[in-house]
């Protein structure tokens, strides 16, 4: 228990960073992502290395350029070929998930991915949203941007974490932006901005170090005014909560409040005689540190090394993520209790087709290296709101938040949902944001 530092970060790290577009062929047409794939099955084993599906993103400029997702068929074929020739480890030696994803569950997921899953369905769905890329601080940032029909809607930027993506928020974009169509009230409307983190999905992969949550927060504070928003709020969970806490510290002009569904409010010094609620939070954080943070420590220290198997093995990438859907959602033992296989594979496929295992893992490296890492995000003056979903990795008591957030204006503890709150419980999540920000509207 002396090592509570499971290193959830809020740190400072400067350096410079070139645009990924320097590395991209001039080829790619703007406003569409092209994932180029050459023939993947070699004719003979001795053949020279084959060109394998490589993501190429259109160059980003300071303009806000429309973007659509279009994965070439060759990349889909390559995926299926890899899945068909998966080489498996032996079965686990336990009868539960304690060693990771059980072999039988793994084989079932991979069989579904190969035989039944339809990426084109997902593409149609994501392309129904207005998507863009724009260059901020040297890299291209991908985002969904849906303006509400309500003129006075409140602009909000929603940030995902790992192993999440914009996919997590697709169900709530409609209800947030157009509440009257989804049983809500016009005055609860939001203009919704959902970016992909640097190194994730269709944002560029940073090519130099320095993209920690503080720098990402500064990029978000550039993005919102670029979209014409002068008064806005921020929301996030997981690394999205890290970015949102960082934004709250920075208090960029225009940011009036923030909501997080993961709260970094551990006291610097743990209480000597914890209350039952404090005890529970401490125990859950300790469980995370002792049994559940292997992925965290590996990604935090050697993101490149773990990137090799996950980029090369579709099964490896899928199960690396699937494990988290089992561990972190509010389920009865199986991730399918809480999320559909299609929903999980949408997210997994997004990581796979974009080849972002290493670049997404690098966010752990960026934010845990500089030493100042912990579960406490420190004192925040910005007005803060929080929704605590019961199956979150840990659930801090309200008193801890009150001690660090003098302007806490909303706190609610729900009875359903877990770490991927918007993904798991879109209706509850939408309602939380409506309720939380009601008092912040002009």
Judged by CB under 8 A, the residue of 49, 183, 253, 276 near another protein is 49
Among 177, 156, 143, CA closest to 232: 156
Q: Is 28 helix (H, G, I), strand (E, B) or coil?
A: coil
Indicate whether 59 belongs to the interface with another protein (CB under 8 A): no
C-alpha 43/C-alpha 255 separation (Å) is: 57
Among 254, 194, 251, CA closest to 228: 254
Distance in Å, CB of 239 to another protein, minimum: 17
Judged by CB under 8 A, the residue of 317, 367, 425, 430 near another protein is 317
Give 39 or 381: the residue with its C-beta nearer to another protein: 39
Distance in Å, CB of 200 to another protein, minimum: 12
- Interacting stretch for another protein, rule CB under 8 A, among 98-106, 224-232, 375-383, 391-399? 98-106
Among 299, 326, 308, 315, CA closest to 348: 315
Give 87 or 269: the residue with its C-beta nearer to another protein: 87
Using the CB atoms, write b or e for 40-69: b if 16+ within 10 Å.
Answer: beeeeeeeeeeebbebebbbbeeebbebeb
Q: Which of residues 402-441 bind another protein (CB under 8 A)?
A: none
Q: Which of residues 201-260 bind another protein (CB under 8 A)?
A: 205-209
Indicate whether 38 belongs to the interface with another protein (CB under 8 A): no
Q: 34-36 and 384-388 as β-strands: parallel, antiparallel, unpaired? A: unpaired
- Interacting stretch for another protein, rule CB under 8 A, among 267-275, 314-322, 340-348, 398-406? 314-322
- Residue found by looking up tokens 């079932």 in the block: 108
Q: What is the CA radius of gyration of the chain?
A: 21
Q: Which of residues 6-35 bind another protein (CB under 8 A)?
A: 23
Distance in Å, CB of 310 to another protein, minimum: 5
Give 100 or 426: the residue with its C-beta nearer to another protein: 100
Q: Which of residues 254-293 bind another protein (CB under 8 A)?
A: 291-293
Sign of CA dihedral 229, 233, 238, 243: positive
Judged by CB under 8 A, the residue of 52, 186, 256, 277 near another protein is 52
Indicate whether 104 belongs to the interface with another protein (CB under 8 A): no
Give 90 or 272: the residue with its C-beta nearer to another protein: 90
Judged by CB under 8 A, the residue of 305, 370, 407, 439 near another protein is 305
Indicate whether 96 belongs to the interface with another protein (CB under 8 A): no
Distance in Å, CB of 49 to another protein, minimum: 5
Give 99 or 439: the residue with its C-beta nearer to another protein: 99
Distance in Å, CB of 88 to another protein, minimum: 6
426 — alpha (psi -120 to 50), left (phi > 0) or beta?
A: alpha
Give 295 or 437: the residue with its C-beta nearer to another protein: 295
Judged by CB under 8 A, the residue of 123, 137, 187, 298 near another protein is 298
Indicate whether 331 belongs to the interface with another protein (CB under 8 A): no
Indicate whether 179 belongs to the interface with another protein (CB under 8 A): no
Q: How many residues bind another protein (CB under 8 A)?
A: 77
Among 328, 345, 350, 354, CA closest to 424: 328
Using the CB atoms, write b or e for 277-314: b if 16+ within 10 Å.
Answer: ebeebbebbeebbeebbebbeebbeebeebbeebbebb
Sign of CA dihedral 9, 310, 164, 331: negative
Indicate whether 2 belongs to the interface with another protein (CB under 8 A): no
Strand blocks (E) in 184-245? 190-195, 232-236
Q: Structure tokens of 29?
A: 């047409």
Indicate whether 316 belongs to the interface with another protein (CB under 8 A): yes
Q: Which residues pair with 191 in a beta bridge?
A: 155
Indicate whether 123 belongs to the interface with another protein (CB under 8 A): no
């Amino acid at each position: 228990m002396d090592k509570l530092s499971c290193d959830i970060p809020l740190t400072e790290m400067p350096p410079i960073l070139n645009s990924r577009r320097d590395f991209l062929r001039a080829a790619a047409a703007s406003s569409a992502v092209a994932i180029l794939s050459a023939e993947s099955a070699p004719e003979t084993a001795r053949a020279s290395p084959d060109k394998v599906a490589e993501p190429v993103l259109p160059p980003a400029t300071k303009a806000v350029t429309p973007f659509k997702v279009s994965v070439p068929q060759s990349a889909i074929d390559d995926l299926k070929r890899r899945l068909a020739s998966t080489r498996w480890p032996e079965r686990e030696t336990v009868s539960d998930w304690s060693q990771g994803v059980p072999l039988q569950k793994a084989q079932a997921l991979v069989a579904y991915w190969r035989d039944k899953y339809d990426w084109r369905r997902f593409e149609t769905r994501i392309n129904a949203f207005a998507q863009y890329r724009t260059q901020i601080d040297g890299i291209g940032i991908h985002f969904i941007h849906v303006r509400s029909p309500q003129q006075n809607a409140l602009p909000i930027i929603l940030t995902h974490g790992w192993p999440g993506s914009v996919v997590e928020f697709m169900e709530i974009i409609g209800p947030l932006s157009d509440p009257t169509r989804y049983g809500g009230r016009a005055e609860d409307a939001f203009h919704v901005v959902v970016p992909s983190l640097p190194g994730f999905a269709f944002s560029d992969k940073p090519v130099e170090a320095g993209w920690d949550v503080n720098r990402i927060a500064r990029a978000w504070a550039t993005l919102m005014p670029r979209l014409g928003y002068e008064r806005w709020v921020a929301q996030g969970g997981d690394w999205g909560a890290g970015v949102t806490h960082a934004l709250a510290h920075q208090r960029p002009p225009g940011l009036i409040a923030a909501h997080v569904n993961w709260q970094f409010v551990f006291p610097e010094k743990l209480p000597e005689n914890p209350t039952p609620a404090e005890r529970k939070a401490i125990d859950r954080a300790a469980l995370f540190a002792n049994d559940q943070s292997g992925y965290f420590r590996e990604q935090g220290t050697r993101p490149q090394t773990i990137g090799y198997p996950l980029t090369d093995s579709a099964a490896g990438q899928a199960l690396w993520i699937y494990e988290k859907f089992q561990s972190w959602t509010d389920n009865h033992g199986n991730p399918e209790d809480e999320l559909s296989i299609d929903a999980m594979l949408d997210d997994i496929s997004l990581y796979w087709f974009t080849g972002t295992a290493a670049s997404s893992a690098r966010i752990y490296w960026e934010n845990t290296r500089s030493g100042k890492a912990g579960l406490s995000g420190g004192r925040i003056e910005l007005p803060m709101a929080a929704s605590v979903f019961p199956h979150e990795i840990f659930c801090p008591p309200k008193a801890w938040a009150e001690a660090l957030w003098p302007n806490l204006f909303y706190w609610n503890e729900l009875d359903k949902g877990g770490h991927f709150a918007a993904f798991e419980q879109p209706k509850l999540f939408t309602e939380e944001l409506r309720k939380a920000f009601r008092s912040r509207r002009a």
